[in-house]
């Protein structure tokens, strides 16, 4: 799954779909691109509790979450790190390599 907008509703829909796929025993990876990486900032305000609860549930169910390296450098605060629920940074090559695999499907939100 590829999240490119920082629209909270689209991101929550992505997480709901990830939970469904995970329940069907599918391996799920979500790549946050562009300004959406801001949603992975470790210093996200607690006012975003619905988002935080949803993403933590996805992590408990085995969903792997990545932030685009270039987007992190551009949109996140440089001295901040991704949250603990983020597997880490992954560049475009990583995402594109996954997208090219015959046994993977790509959904864009």
Taking the domains of the chain in order of start, what are their residue ranges?
2-100
CB half-sphere exposure, 33, CA atoms < 13 A: 15
Give the SS3 label for residue 41: strand
CATH no., domain 2-100: 3.40.1260.10
Query: What is the model's pTM?
Result: 0.85
42-93: pLDDT as tens digits = 777 766 788 888 988 999 999 999 989 888 888 876 677 778 888 888 988 9
At 79 the three-state DSSP class reads: coil
Token code pair at residue 63: 């969903």
């Amino acid at each position: 799954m590829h999240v490119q907008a920082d629209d909270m509703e689209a991101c929550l829909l992505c997480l709901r779909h990830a939970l469904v796929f995970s329940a069907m025993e599918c391996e799920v990876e979500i790549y946050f691109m562009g300004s959406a990486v801001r949603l992975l900032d470790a210093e996200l305000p607690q006012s975003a509790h619905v988002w935080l609860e949803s993403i933590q549930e996805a992590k408990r169910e085995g969903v792997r979450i990545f932030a685009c390296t270039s987007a992190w450098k551009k949109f996140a605060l440089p001295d901040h790190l991704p949250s603990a629920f983020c597997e880490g940074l992954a560049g475009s090559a990583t995402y594109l390599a996954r997208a090219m695999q015959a046994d993977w499907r790509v959904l864009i939100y």
